Amino acid sequence: MSDREIHWWSTIETAQRIAAKEVSSREVLEHMIDRADRLDGSINAIIQHDLDRARATADAADAAIAAGQPLGPLHGVPMTVKDSFQTEGCITTSGASELANFIPLEDADPVARLRDAGAVIWGKTNLPIWAGDIQSYNEVYGTTLNPFNPDRTCGGSSGGSAASLAMGFTSLEVGSDIGGSIRVPAHYSGVVGHKPSFGIVPSHGQIPGMPGTLSQADIAVAGPMARHVDDLELAMDILTGPDRWNAPGWSVDLPAPRKEAAGDLRVAAWIDDPSYPVDSDTKRVLTDLARTLTGAGVSVDTGARPGFTLEKAVDVFQRLLYAALSGGHPREKLDHMAADSSDTPLGNVKRNTAMRHRDWLSNHERRLQIRKQWEEFFHDFDIMLMPVQPRDAIEHDHSEPQFDRTVMIDGVQRPYTDLFTWIGPAGVAYLPATVVPVGMSSAGLPIGVQIVAPYLEDRTALHFAKLVSELCGGCPRPAAAG
């Protein structure tokens, strides 16, 4: 790699070179801006700019280095941020026309933490309206395309984040995940992403809810995306901590990886399941991964399972997921949803969105039973490998209503909701999951794997993800990125 291929440097390398005065923060920033100006027209990943402030911040970062001042871990590193996170002084819409001119007065908590660490935030990246789909399109900014194939989606809801990384417009992003919104775009666009354990990364200031909302939705998390797992680890060190309510008395001290040597880790692989089958490309790539790991001295058990079925976990996950998304609906609409008795994917979504609290409590107990079964499973294993999706990136489909859509999986027409299945077992149980690309489909699209670890053992998932990424060659580069 040429020293001038700044766009492919890792976040850590960029910060080190800026601190060593090998390159200035301003030079890196201008390089990234120029690259996006030249290449993003065919992708539409970056939809807002904050260039005047970014340039002033980069110049201040360079002056601080010249003055010998203390530096943060991201000092002078330019980056883009998902447009669901409020950024002080810069339009933040979450893809909603109602917020097309909304300029926040303060940063969302993850954005503030990144700035405090020295990051120079210069652009916002696209997403679906209200971060509510696994495709990234909206009426405000249009559609973001997959860098590997413009006929396919880059994923969602952190799709612009993933596309920005894949194209080399940024080395670090912050995404959010309630229904796979970090994991799916990482899988579709060939980058790495980490869904943290629930509750360890405060995300106050993300939209939705509406600006001013102080609550955090069940299952929802914020977490980093990058092209290098080391950068995910660095970002987790910055983002992890107590929220505004618990900061006076709580701290977060995540345990070290369970084992240092990969060969000492006990790994299981849940590659396929008859209730929600994956396609032949996905099965081939993940089976090859298991063989590669075995060849590297890692013991992989492809038959071990926790004490619940995938079907049960998906059912509980989808019930609680849609209940968690109910907050923005008026009472009259929820009553109308609750009355829908149709036996269709959309009917199920409506009823779960309108769930009564007593029903939520019942499903929450079912969730806790799943968490306990995961806990027992992780007495015998350290890692579970799982598909992210049952297939590679889907074709664009913006038809409404969303949950009447269908997808093709190995030539079989399946409900759109089948795309929300394999992300369920980790999501509903609040578990950490790191996604890294591990191969390509026959259509030339990336395929990733979920590396799931026990609750609060994010460092175990990330540690193992580094081994997997090294064995599989890291993140592929799309031809569109030059």
Kindly write down the DSSP assignment for every residue of 153-193, as one continuous string: E--SSSHHHHHHHHTTS-SEEEEEESSSTTHHHHHHHT-EE
Whether 342 is a known active-site residue: answer no
Distance CA 74, CA 351 (A): 45
The neighbouring-strand residues paired with 72 are none
Look at the block and give the residue holding tokens 């997921």.
321
Helix axes 109-116, 229-239, angle to 10 degrees: 110
Q: Looking at the chain, how many residues does it have?
A: 482
Look at the block and give the residue holding tokens 């799982």.
386
CB 46 within 8 A of CB 36: yes
CA distances from 425 to 67, 124, 134, 135, 244 (A): 50, 30, 17, 21, 28
Distance CA 104, CA 479 (A): 36
Distance CA 228, CA 246 (A): 31
CA distances from 199 to 58, 180, 321, 424 (A): 32, 16, 16, 17
Whether 195 is a known active-site residue: answer no
Point out the catalytic residue in the list 94, 171, 181, 197. Answer: 181
3-class SS of residue 145: strand
Helix axes 11-19, 51-66, angle to 10 degrees: 50
Point out the catalytic residue in the list 25, 84, 136, 157. Answer: 157
Whether 94 is a known active-site residue: answer no
Distance CA 111, CA 173 (A): 10
Point out the catalytic residue in the list 82, 195, 350, 466. Answer: 82
What is the per-residue burial (b if ≥16 Cβ within 10 Å, else e) of 412-439? eebbbbbbbbbbbbbbbbbbbbbbbbbb
CB 31 within 8 A of CB 6: yes
- Active-site residue set: 82, 157, 181
